[in-house]
Structure 1
Amino acid sequence: MKMIAKRIGTALLLAVFILAPGLLFWIINYAFLSHPRMAESSTPVILASESSFRTIEKELAAAGVILADGRFRILGRMMGVASHLKAGEYLFPPSISPYRVLIMVKEGATYKHQVTIPEGATLNHIATLLAAENLTTIEEFLRLAHDSALLASLNIHGPSLEGYLFPDTYFFERGPKSTETMIRIMSDQMQRVLIQTDAINGLPQYGLDRHGVVTLASIVEKETALVQERSLIARVFLNRLAAGMKLQTDPTVIYGLANFSGNLTRQDLESPSPYNTYRIRGLPPGPISSPGQQAITAVMHPAEESFYYFVSKNDGSHYFSSTLSDHNRAVLQYQTKTNPTNLKVRKQ
């Protein structure tokens, strides 16, 4: 009996020596060589958090990233990474090898969506841009943008995040709580800019705190696209605030309208909206858009001028005036022919 057992053991050991090189070659060949797949372009795959290795293997096989023959599981165990794979959205190129797949998921090399938030964007605009990349839904984003607990955690004292998400180019990942994560990233960037420009301390000489500076900067942002005019427009509004004059700025009126047709009417300018700066004195309740750093800087460092008025010259630039009579002449020169009912002459 002992002799038989010894012979069986010897045979098994011999089989291991014979088969091991072949098995090793089989695994190495599988690990490093790409395999033909159905997809001709990169394949996106979302791996949920707390997924088991077997679940991840099935999802990758279903997406056509790997072959569903069990070798991926063996390779993962041999590499010791089966319990160290990270959740998230991945974009696998069509010629990727199983080894590279495991390395990508082990290192968390998730796909990042490039999203550019333009200067002057509103919350609705930002929500639309993010939803277009399937990073969130418009409803979810706007819900969180008005969430009082989230606002408090971000030190935002207002009804929403309007104006407090910095316009910039971002690279966002899709995943659990991604909407809140994106909001925090954009809010933190705005906070950094407010600190850099000293807007965090407001303009006490004009009675403006941080919120007031952001609000005024958002108006400046919407009034002109010309960098060289922003400090001039900021000066106009600061002069009018100091003199107790109404700001009478169209972008605030438009923001307060439920529906805007594209042309301001007399009825619009008489609307009871708290954003109607043709009726109210001082600033509206809050920002009307996300101001960029240049608009914020313009408010903090306005031009040294005595201007109280400006009117469009219909070429993207504006004519600035120190007196109402000069302003009215400019309106007649630049606006009457194109807009006979122009109401900016009412500024006083």
Structure 2
Amino acid sequence: MKLKLSFCLIIIFASIFLSYSYFDKVKNKKIVFEDTYLFLKKNDNQKVILKKLRAKNIHIQYFDWRMISFSHQDKLLIKAGEYLIPKDFSLFEIQNMFQTGKTITRNFTLIEGSSAIDLRIKLLSNKYLSGEIPTLMEGIYKPDTYHFKYGYSRVKLLNRMKKAQDISINKVWKNKPKDFILRDKRELLILASIIQREAKSFEDSKLVASVFINRLRKKMKLQSDVTLAFGLNINGKYITKKMLKSSHPFNTYFHTGLPPTPISYPGKNALNALKNIKNTNYFYFVADGKGGHRFSETYDLHKQNINLWKKSKMRD
């Protein structure tokens, strides 16, 4: 009788040992041979997931999957999305990744100086975003890089971009000088959007801003090619003398003051150029042919700078 009992105990302990060994082996065995992309839909059940894994050369038995699923602290609930399963991952690590939703993070970048047309095209062409696009306004979204997960709403992304731009504008407006010529944050955004299209560097932006501020104070026309080019939806290189005489609302050669709306999405350089206005006596600027501008206080000097620009274009 004792011999039978001892034999049964040996069988039980051996079974427990073998079961634990099998469990431990299945749980920790490296089964991913290379970094593997996997997309899981919202309603994918566990058998569908295993089928998708097998198609990616990650072979898992359903029994093993179910057995290891009970080893997690919480019930295994798999989150949909894009996954990049690293090489040498085990079954337990795969399940843990799916349960915690460690999906791929995507990036969306709005480039400084882009227009609403540019933004719409970029949003629609991004296959990782979802949902419709509302009417887009110029200027109100902050140029930056934004992170999101697969299926993220385009509307939610735009809301984040607008909130970020609002913060930037509020900071500039809060630090505006007491004698600021601009009446409100809307005008600030419009002028920043023009500076964005006119200047590339921060130093250049500050000088361009000073010219426009000086002109507004003297009630002089801004005479900015970029505003008219935006209004006519053309390249600024193709502006004609006839266009300069038109009464188009974005023609700042014809109308005094700012155009009706922003013409681009201004970045930090353009906005910060209006944060601490650089005091100058400049009223004119023209391209120097090297990516910057030549500035002048008088129209006579401005004409000389125009001739220098023409000579640089001829050399090109």
TM-score w.r.t. structure 2 length?
A: 0.82
2:101 counterpart residue number: 108
Deviation at 1:309, TM superposition (A): 0.9
Between the aligned partners of 2:282 and 2:236, the Cα distance in structure 1 is: 31
Alpha-carbon distance in 1 for matches of 2:78, 2:258 = 52
In structure 2, the CA distance between the partners of 1:133 and 1:326, relative to structure 1 (3 Å rule), is same
Gaps of 5+ in 1: 1-6, 147-159, 340-348
Cα distance change, pair 84–217 in 1 and its aligned pair in 2 (3 A): same
Q: Does 2:189 align with 1:196? A: no
2:151 equivalent in structure 1 = 175
2:79 aligned partner: 86
Match of 1:324 among 299, 306, 310: 299
Alignment of 1:19-34 (within 5 A): 19-34=15-30
Percent identical across equivalent pairs? 27
SS at match of 2:168: helix
1:313 aligns with 2:288: yes
In the other structure, the counterpart of 2:90 is 97
SS of equivalent to 2:129: coil
* Structure 1 residues 225 and 106, CA gap change in structure 2 (3 angstroms): same
- One-letter amino acid of the structure 2 residue matched with residue 166 of structure 1: K
Amino acid at match of 2:147: F
Cα distance, 1:59 vs structure 2: 4.0
Instruction: Please list the CA deviations of residues 179-236 of structure 1 after superposition, one character each: whole Å capped at 9, or x if unmatched.
Output: 2232222222222222333369898832431121111111111111121121111111
Aligned partners of 2:305 and 2:128: how far apart in 1? Answer: 47
Q: Could you say what the CA RMSD is over the residues aligned between the two structures, in angstroms?
A: 3.4
Question: CA contact under 8 A between 1:65 and 1:92: conserved in structure 2?
Answer: no
Which whole-Å deviations, capped at 9, do the CAs of 1:40-63 have from their partners, x for residues lacking one? 5x3333333465445544444444
Summarize the Cα distance change of 1:261–1:219 in structure 2 as closer, same or farther, 3 Å threshold. closer
Q: State the Cα deviation string for residues 256-298 of structure 1 (Å, max 9, x = none).
A: 2345485333354455543232233222222222211221111
CA distance in 2, matches of 1:203, 1:56: 64
Determine helix, strand or coil for the equivalent of 1:213: helix
| 1:194 and 1:200 in contact (8 A); partners too | no
| Paired AA for residue 162 in structure 1 | E
- Contact (CA 8 Å) 1:31, 1:97: kept in 2 or not? yes
**Could you tell me which residue of structure 2 aligns to residue 166 of structure 1?**
142
In the alignment, is the contact (CA less than 8 A) between 1:53 and 1:82 conserved in 2?
A: no
Unmatched 5+ residue regions in structure 2? none
Q: Conserved in 1, the CA contact under 8 Å of 2:173 and 2:185?
A: no
1:194 alignment partner AA: I
Q: Decide whether the 8 Å contact of 2:176 with 2:276 is kept in 1.
A: no
Letter in 2 for 1:27: F
- Shift in CA distance, 132/74, structure 1 to aligned 2, threshold 3 Å: farther
Contact 1:54 1:73 in 2 (8 A): no
> Taking structure 1 as reference, are residues 202 and 291 closer, same or farther at Cα in structure 2, changes over 3 Å only?
farther
Deviation at 1:104, TM superposition (A): 1.7
